[in-house]
Amino acid sequence: DARVTQTPRDKVTEMGQEVTMRCQPILGHNTVFWYRQTMMQGLELLAYFRNRAPLDDSGMPKDRFSAEMPDATLATLKIQPSEPRDSAVYFCASGPTGLNTEAFFGQGTRLTVV
């Protein structure tokens, strides 16, 4: 059963600490998205990649956030330093090129910054 895997599922960290969230896209999918979900803003697109290259990361605060795909099986989202306002659920999704088919979502990482 192919699925997008995100780790960790939950993360509590202190303000100022570095946070790394990981995503394993479905094998063969070459489009990967990072979203942030909050009550106030809903689902915000932070960045997305095609064939490991960033296509658009305009939704991401550049001073503290970074997103990479070291290889086709791993996408990472880092926050350094973290702040309380970063508390949210972060979702990774993957899909085949020509995404007018479907984006498959992971279970999300719930981040709490205290």
Partner 1 sequence: AQSVTQLDSQVPVFEEAPVELRCNYSSSVSVYLFWYVQYPNQGLQLLLKYLSGSTLVKGINGFEAEFNKSQTSFHLRKPSVHISDTAEYFCAVSDPTDKLIFGTGTRLQVFP
Site residues, partner 1 (CB under 8 A): 4, 31, 33, 35, 41-43, 45, 48, 50, 55-56, 91, 93, 95, 97-103, 105-108
Torsion of Cα atoms, 59 then 92 then 64 then 51, to 10°: -80
4 vs 75, beta carbon nearer partner 1 = 4
CB of 15 to partner 1, least distance (A): 25
Between CA 87 and CA 47 the distance in angstroms is: 17
User: C-alpha 107: how far from its chain's center?
Assistant: 11
CB of 63 to partner 1, least distance (A): 23
CB of 95 to partner 1, least distance (A): 8
Question: Does residue 25 have a cis peptide bond before it, meaning omega lies within 30 degrees of 0?
Answer: no
